[in-house]
Amino acid sequence: MYDLPSQTLLQQSAARPISGEELETFGKHAASGYSGGKFGTLNDAVVETVKHAGLSPEQVKRVVEFANTNAFLTEFKKESTAAKYVSFEGGPADPSEVLKDLNDGGGGTVFDRGVQDYSHGPEVIKASSVAAVPTSGLEKTASVQEPVNEADVILAEVFKAEDAPIPFESPFQDVEDAQYKLASARDSATASISELEVQLLDTNQELYGLVKQAVMEDIPLGHILSAWFQVLEPPPELVKSAFALIGPRLKEEDVMSYDQLGASLEKTASVNHLANEDHPLVRTFSGYCETVIKLAELRVSRDEIMGGLEKLATFRRLAEQHIQENA
């Protein structure tokens, strides 16, 4: 039933060794070309970058991951701090589209033979200059002036072999596409989480400095809490998490004892006293709440994505096992 291996498996088996650092370099170069406006889409950027690199399908897909991640980080840093929403023209690079383009004539897989003039000897031929399109017959071979391998001609004549194209699709192509799309989404979420974690550290430091200054100016902590609740109506859990960081530091730096902390928290502001929503203490705590909420949402999303990746991996493993048992 599965006598002929898929093109992906054939190409992968013939892959040349290449380090992860080299693949990352390809991805960064593609992302740089896209961000600089050299290419209209990330798909085009990846295809043009790797089409003469002689990469296998799995290596191409790794380049796609690196390209998407680096392009996201570049665009993320360009956005204003008020709205960190990143979108790509044409969407992120899609490994299935890139591989299809390469195998349809864009160049870049391990089956590439290129259009180099082999008559000049091996010294002018580089492994990285191999192109992607397998020829379909002697007429096509002659049109690009490639040398005819006499052994191949003899074997073809003896066995009456025909040069049939290898189908692009594999039994698990849809699963592979889903896996790499989820992996790209996971990497993007991880990059966003890292950015927010750094942002939260800065916000925590700024918030603590403002609270400490207010306390040293004899402003009760209860008044600060009243302002937060009056203007922002934050979830109590966020207020508790903020003071779980602020309280111990006030004690460690001898600003207040624990008894003084408790007494200061009990001094609430009058309901008739309106808080200033533009006060740095209010604005900074608002930023703290927003960052914590975004972090929580992104972590949940990433966990769901990783769960989906695990399910796909399990499905593929069981399916491959079933095929092998029934081959």
Alpha helices in 235-279 (DSSP H): 236-252, 258-266
What contacts 24+ positions apart, CB below 8 Å, involve 143-151? Answer: 144/115, 145/115, 145/117, 146/113, 146/115, 146/118, 147/118, 147/119
Are 67 and 42 in contact by the 8 Å Cβ rule? The answer is yes
Say how far apart CA 100 and CA 98 lie, in whole Å: 5
Residues of the chain with pLDDT under 50: 1-6, 12, 81-84, 106-144, 150-151, 154-155, 158-159, 161, 165-169, 271-272
pLDDT tens digits, 169-187: 467 788 888 888 899 999 9
Q: pLDDT tens digits, residue range 82-127?
A: 444 556 676 788 888 888 888 775 444 444 444 333 334 334 333 3
